[in-house]
Amino acid sequence: MSSVTVGIFGYPWKLGNEKWPEELDLGGKKVLSYLLEKVSDISDEVIVVASSQSQASLIQEIMESEGFFEAKDFILDSSGNVLEMTIKLIQSAKGEKILVVPSSSPFLPTEVIMLLLDLLEGRDGVFLRDKLGNLYKRLFSLRKETSLEAITFEKEVNRDLKDIPIKLKKTMAISWNAVSSLDPLHLSYFLIATEEDYFSAKKLLSKVKKGFE
């Protein structure tokens, strides 16, 4: 069975209340705790890509205080450049499969996470499409060896490139309809990036709570 590295990408900015989204209380648990519960059983290692040392320390503290595994490594990158962050993650990862998840997405469905990993067999990358048909580049899976080669090549060709290149040799994009059939509340695309998102998360919690019991 292929080994899995989970890369947790820290949200790059604090919210209006000067707190990182990961540390906010959501139903008696930290926002990050919900994500950790989802990925702890399927990961062989966890690597956190944080935007600052203070964020890295916070995430480590949450992991330790709530009894989760410790991250293998913390990569600091304040650029907000998803491509650069991904390259650093792939270079550090030991797993054959890499799952990238945003740190402030508390309600990622297990079914979608497993689909991203299962469909990676024989492919270099698997992405979701959003409602408009665009690639959703916050949650995706990559195969370490082949994706690193392709991404490095794209970066050399276009040094201004800041996003994940979609021209990997064998890439799959899962349609909005296909994701919706597994995730009718569209929780795969839900990210706490503003205080309004946080209030929405509190309302959503009652609908998804059974999935965490």
User: Taking the chain (213 residues) in consecutive chunks of 10 residues, what is each chunk's mean pLDDT?
Assistant: 89 88 94 92 90 90 79 78 84 94 95 95 91 92 86 72 67 94 95 95 85 49
pLDDT at position 63 is 87
pLDDT at position 213 is 45
Instruction: Give the 3-state DSSP-derived string for the chain, with helices as H, strands as E and coil as C.
Output: CCCEEEEEECCCCCCCCCCCHHHCEECCEEHHHHHHHHHCCCCCEEEEEECCHHHHHHHHHHHHHCCCCCCCEEEECCCCCHHHHHHHHHHHCCCCEEEEEECCCCCCCHHHHHHHHHCCCCCCEEEEECCCCCEEEEEEEEEHHHHHHHHHHHHHHCCCCCCCCCCCCCEEEECHHHHHHHCCCCHHHCCCCCHHHHHHHHHHHHHHHHHHC
pTM score of the predicted model: 0.90
What CATH number does the domain containing 92 carry? 3.90.550.10
88 in a structural domain: yes
174 in a structural domain: yes
Structural domain count, the chain:
1
10 in a structural domain: yes
212 in a structural domain: no
144 in a structural domain: yes
169 in a structural domain: yes
- List the domain range (segments joined by +) for residue 35: 4-207
